[in-house]
Amino acid sequence: MEQSELPLILVEDFIGYQEKLFKRAGDEIALGYYKNPDIKKFEKEVEGRKSIYSDVDIEIQNFLTQQTLDKYPSVGIISEEDSEKILPNCEYIWMIDPLDGTRGYLEGIEHFVLQGALIHVASRMPVAAIVYKPLDLDEERKEHNKRTCLYTVIKDKKRELFAHYNNDDRITTKLNVSDKQSLPKSTMLAGRYGSTQTTMERLEQLPLERIVHLGSSGNKLATIARGDAEAYVRFHDEPPLHEWDTAAGVLMVTEAGGKATDAYGNPLVYLQEDFAHRKGLVISNGKVHDELLKKLEELRTK
């Protein structure tokens, strides 16, 4: 396989194409099956825990993969449900999480997203990303105005949230993290399903304004990137998140002015051998990051 020829100047074309694919996959496949009692569910063991996926995950993955390879055959692809699909000599890899928040999706909860990140192999970092939330409730407008939210980020060029309301309002805003400067004024995000009692006990020891539970890693990081929360933590000894869980959201947060490290303050690196964040995660608006790292160190030494 020849080395991919996708220079940075074409990244915008690539992401523009993916925007259309993600909207089709979200609107036609994810919403097409939403709350369908005949969805087939499967279990697999990941890091000693049962992970749930469905035939909807597989259908979205197959659609996004095939459509991408048809147009960009020399771009490598890694997907959560098929992590073997990688081209070792390519310049860019498109990393997909076809349905992040499957458990909530299967329970009829709108905390699910489709997400993808373009990883530059040489730097091992994401350079462009999409997160698409095909069903969302505007907390200010409540249930009367459901909306879709499409987040598009290109490193050093673009960081936008495009919201389309069911009353046909269309709003495009630039992503910016919040200005809150200290943990006591901060909102910490926690998992809706995966937060153990130990995790919650640790979070409750932090001097926070509040803890909010959200499903989907991509959804949580998008919430930080748009300034509606300040931080998310994955402790160093918890089962790790995988790179497809975080790549898109991490780029969104950092381009919006935030910061992302492991739980020890080290920079994140992608394309690890097992695609896992084994030293935890701290993702924040940047302004509370050092304070949060210090508090985590104090918890580890207790």
- What tokens were used for 115? 């997400």
pLDDT of 139 = 54
CATH number for the region 183-300 comes to 3.40.190.80
Mean pLDDT, rounded, of the chain: 89
pLDDT tens digits for range 126-146? 999 999 999 876 555 455 457
- What does the H/E/C string look like for 9-31? HHHHHHHHHHHHHHHHHHHHHHH
User: In angstroms, rounded to a whole number, what is the distance separating the alpha carbons of residues 229 and 223?
Assistant: 6
Other CB atoms within 10 Å distance of the CB of residue 281: 23
* Strand partners for 277: none
pLDDT tens digits for range 153-165? 999 998 998 888 7
User: In angstroms, rounded to a whole number, what is the distance separating the alpha carbons of residues 177 and 175?
Assistant: 7
pLDDT tens digits for range 241-264? 999 999 999 999 999 999 999 999
Domain chopping of the chain, boundaries: 8-174, 183-300
Structure pTM?
0.91
- The string of DSSP codes covering 30-88 is IHHHTT-TT--EEEEEETTEEEEEEHHHHHHHHHHHHHHHHH-TTSEEEETTBTT---T
pLDDT tens digits for range 205-217? 999 999 999 989 9
pLDDT tens digits for range 180-237? 999 999 999 998 776 678 888 999 999 999 999 998 999 999 999 999 999 999 998 8
pLDDT tens digits for range 49-94? 677 889 999 999 999 999 999 999 889 999 987 755 555 578 899 9
CB-based contact 257:176 (threshold 8 Å): yes
Q: What mean pLDDT is predicted for residues 21-40?
A: 95
- What tokens were used for 16? 């523009």
Q: How confident is the model at residue 106 (pLDDT cuts 50, 70, 90)?
A: very high
Angle at 102 between CA 133 and CA 117, to 5 degrees: 55
Give the type of residue at 105: Y
Q: Is the pLDDT of residue 175 over 50?
A: yes
pLDDT of 300 = 87
Check if CATH label 3.30.540.10 holds for domain 8-174.
yes
**Locate tokens 């959200």: which residue?**
214
Q: Do domains 8-174 and 183-300 have the same CATH topology?
A: no
